[in-house]
Structure 1
Amino acid sequence: MTNQTIVSTVENDRVLVLEREFDAPRELVFRMFKEAEHLKHWWGPRGWELPICTIDFRPGGVWHYCMKCVDKNQGDFFGMESWGKGVYGEIVEPEKIVYTDYFSDAEGNVNESLPSTEITLEFIDLGGRTKLINRAVYGSAEALQTVLDMGMLQGITETWNRLSERLDSLK
């Protein structure tokens, strides 16, 4: 089940909805998103690690992280760092996480030249399995196209494959 396909749809030219089922209880899947020690094992595409990850998991709290390419086979990406910052808006444990996702620098300053995203993660209990729905609202169709052109769909697919593997290792 590791390489299960993500179902993706675009609504109103600027909303990307991603869905996938995981073979793990909802509480465990939710915990993977709230604790840095879990995120460090699966966040990011294959060949990337999360050497820095701090989480203040509460409304108004900040998640700040660095993804670093450690795979020499990824050519020019090897050694590259990509910083991100999330600001939590709403948390309903274990059902929902709402946050604004930004590109940032190492100090947490938002990169205004790249699009931010309003993310809503829904964790739906399927009786021992969990459906994860990621609803990403972009400021414009152009902003959504920017992240799609950056390879975001491939990256999230690899990331969620890694999440599935992490869940399997904890069962």
Structure 2
Amino acid sequence: MTRPATAMTSRVEAGTDLILERVFRAPRPLVFAAFSTPEQLSQWWGPRGWELPVCTVDFRPGGRWHYCMKCVDETQGEFYGMESWGLGIYQDIEAPARIVYTDYFSDAEGQINAELPPTLSTLTFEEVEGGTKVTNRGSYATAAALQTVMDMGMLHGITQTWDRLAEYLEAQTP
């Protein structure tokens, strides 16, 4: 059995970049792969009580990741049954070290919601003693754009998402 992952840390830089870091107790190729296929992403992406009933991934530069998070937990009250659609467009992939993509809010057809801010996400995967350090730099056009997603509860949601990733990885690690 592996040791549990460390807690996620977060900080804001330059008013527009949200930096998230966490060490996962799994080998770098396994952690990187968890971000690359719909079969794997569907196992852990989203906060607790949310599932991915739709998840398609074309994992290559220029490819798209289109997904729907749906709240299936009745105890989450007003969120129960809610759907949140997203669209990622990959700019750069360097296996197993880096993934760069722009993450948009979208609709079921993959049309970008221009009323909500996109995030330029740069994920790096670094081998460290005992596992893999994942750093996600989420860059926003303005401080107000970053504040918009923070006000939506994004930090709470990503914390739970990465908790689920840690659990998924632990189950995959011999």
What TM-score do you get using the length of structure 1 for normalisation?
0.97
Paired residues for 1:17-166 under 5 Å: 17-166=19-168
Q: Secondary structure at the match of 2:99?
A: strand
Q: Classify 1:110/1:43 alpha carbon distance in 2 versus 1 (closer, same or farther; 3 Å).
A: same
CA apart distance, 1:127: 4.7
Q: Distance in 2 between matches of 1:134 and 1:72?
A: 31
Q: Which amino acid aligns with 1:78?
A: Y
Q: Distance in 2 between matches of 1:13 and 1:75?
A: 33
Q: Distance in 1 between matches of 2:5 and 2:34?
A: 18
CA apart distance, 1:4: 3.8
Q: Deviations over 1:11-70 (max 9, x none)?
A: 110000000000000000000000110100100000000010000000000000000000
Q: Which runs of 5+ in 2 are unaligned?
A: none
Q: Secondary structure at the match of 1:8?
A: strand
How many residue pairs match? The answer is 171
Q: Secondary structure at the match of 2:34?
A: helix
Q: Distance in 1 between matches of 2:40 and 2:90?
A: 18
* Match of residue 12, structure 1, among 14, 27, 31: 14
Q: Secondary structure at the match of 2:114?
A: coil
Q: Secondary structure at the match of 2:54?
A: strand
Q: Which runs of 4+ in 1 moved over 4 A?
A: none
Q: Which runs of 5+ in 1 are unaligned?
A: none
Q: Which amino acid aligns with 1:53?
A: C
Q: Which amino acid aligns with 1:39?
A: L
Q: Distance in 2 between matches of 1:134 and 1:85?
A: 17
What TM-score do you get using the length of structure 2 for normalisation?
0.96
CA apart distance, 1:151: 0.6
The answer on whether the counterparts of 2:122 and 2:137 sit within 8 Å (CA) in structure 1 is yes
Report the identity percentage: 60
Aligned-residue CA RMSD (Å):
1.1
The answer on whether the counterparts of 1:121 and 1:134 sit within 8 Å (CA) in structure 2 is yes
* Match of residue 167, structure 1, among 166, 169, 172: 169
